[in-house]
Amino acid sequence: MSWNPDLSIVSVLLVFWSFILEQSTVSQVNHILKSVQFIISGA
């Protein structure tokens, strides 16, 4: 079974987006997007 990094990134982003939509404040969105950028660039 091969690991598809693109698919894992998409699934992570979907989880983050569902969380963002539930907790939609600008500061939280900015913090989450910075965390996602850090995770992707560090991967």
pTM of this prediction exceeds 0.75: no
Which pLDDT score is estimated for 2? 67
Which pLDDT score is estimated for 43? 63
Q: What is the DSSP string of 1-43?
A: ----HHHHHHHHHHHHHHHHHHT--HHHHHHHHHHHHHHHHH-
Which pLDDT score is estimated for 1? 52
pLDDT at 38 over 80: yes
5-24 pLDDT, tens digit each: 788 888 888 888 888 777 66
Which pLDDT score is estimated for 26? 74
